[in-house]
A = this chain, B = another copy of it.
């Protein structure tokens, strides 16, 4: 049998990794597929820069249409990222009868439903393992061997940039801005890190994961998203003092009343939670199925080589189907049949119940604690513990930190709004959600 031919759109760092992997492990692939996989065409606006891998210049093109129009190409790999023209290219590839492999979580989070429907109508596969968790094969597992389960939850650390920054802030007692700058210099954060540090990238991934786990179509814009830019060294120190570590978590849960809880925010987790030790650029994703119980996946969540591993893994799986006779032979893009996809109502953030760490900056004078505690009590919020560190510092604001028992987020927000109006409160009060028993 002739080699299976793939076309690549978007020849950046990850694309170069795919070229390298297909070259270095061509024997491994042939031994597992029964035929080779050749990248026969690469489209990019820039076809002159050196990507550090040797490529026959004859296969480079600036026109993506050269790939869609090539009848020998069975699989299109989309690696340009972003919403457009990625969406147009993927839909064109599907319309041309090509299987699609993509790493584009943003595209799938916003336009997944449209793309999956087009693929189903055309009988081609859309695979996207690299979109979440880099090389960690968690999406394949959810669609594949774990498919017998009804999932109750999926959560984890899914953005290496944020995790790297928080890990260094924790280890060095450093502040956000300083670590971000150093992370950019070291290549752990993009020159424009907005999508990472504001949580958007994590929310894209949560949208993809939750759709898979719960068989539901999710309105990406309705997912609560809070990044790590508001986390300061003092938050991290107080959290550690109470036995917690701050991580940017994505959390998806099916609630007992048939709602979906989906949220991305800095979260305090107990130091003994396995996720607390996931450091640096690593990702960890945990899910709970009604039969399998808790399962955790851990590995490199980004980077050229791990991402190429996931992309070529998808190429291999599709190629096995082609070798066996063509067409889509495996799970539908979401694991569920299109007809089984539902839309679950999202639980409003005001109704979320967790414990909270509250941090106030207040003038150090009599009656302050009584005032704050009184307002919390009035809103039905009970206090587990409290710490006020500095005193007698000449009239400046002192930090007051309060750990609450479980409370409705709506009550917390209402209480803080009213407390912030007290004349002895010097800056906007902060809260961080605490998850003691994520399951």
Chain A interface residues toward B at CB < 8 A? 17, 21, 24-25, 28-32, 34, 129, 135-137, 140-141, 144-150, 215, 274, 277, 289-300, 303, 305-306, 308-310, 312-317, 320-321, 324-325, 327-332, 335-337, 340
Contact = CB atoms under 8 A, between A and B. Distances in A.
B330 A320 contact: yes
Contact of A328 (B148, B324, B340): B324
A291 B340 contact: no
This chain: copies in complex: 2
Contact of A298 (B21, B296, B305, B337): B296
Contacts of A337: 31-32, 34
Given A32-B331, A141-B141, A297 B295 contact: yes
Given A294-B299, A298-B274, A140 B145 contact: yes
Contacts of A290: 24-25, 305
A327 to B, nearest CB: 7
Given A141-B141, A329-B329, A31 B148 contact: no
A365 B140 CA distance: 63
B32 A149 contact: no
Q: When A and B form their complex, which 5 residue pairs have the shortest distance between CB atoms, in order from nearest?
A: A31-B340, A145-B313, A135-B292, A148-B312, A137-B145
B277 A289 contact: no
A313 to B, nearest CB: 4
Given A32-B340, A296-B297, A313 B277 contact: no
Contacts of A291: 17, 21, 25, 135, 305-306, 308-309, 312
A144 B317 contact: yes
Contacts of A312: 148, 291
Contacts of A28: 147-150
B148 A313 contact: yes
Contacts of A146: 135, 137, 309, 313
A40 to B, nearest CB: 18
A25 B295 contact: no
A329 B340 contact: no
A306 B309 CA distance: 28
Nearest to A328: B324
A309 B324 contact: no
Contact of A329 (B135, B141, B324): B324
A135 B295 contact: yes
A186 to B, nearest CB: 18
A34 B337 CA distance: 7
A137 B141 contact: yes
Contacts of A308: 148, 291
Nearest to A34: B337
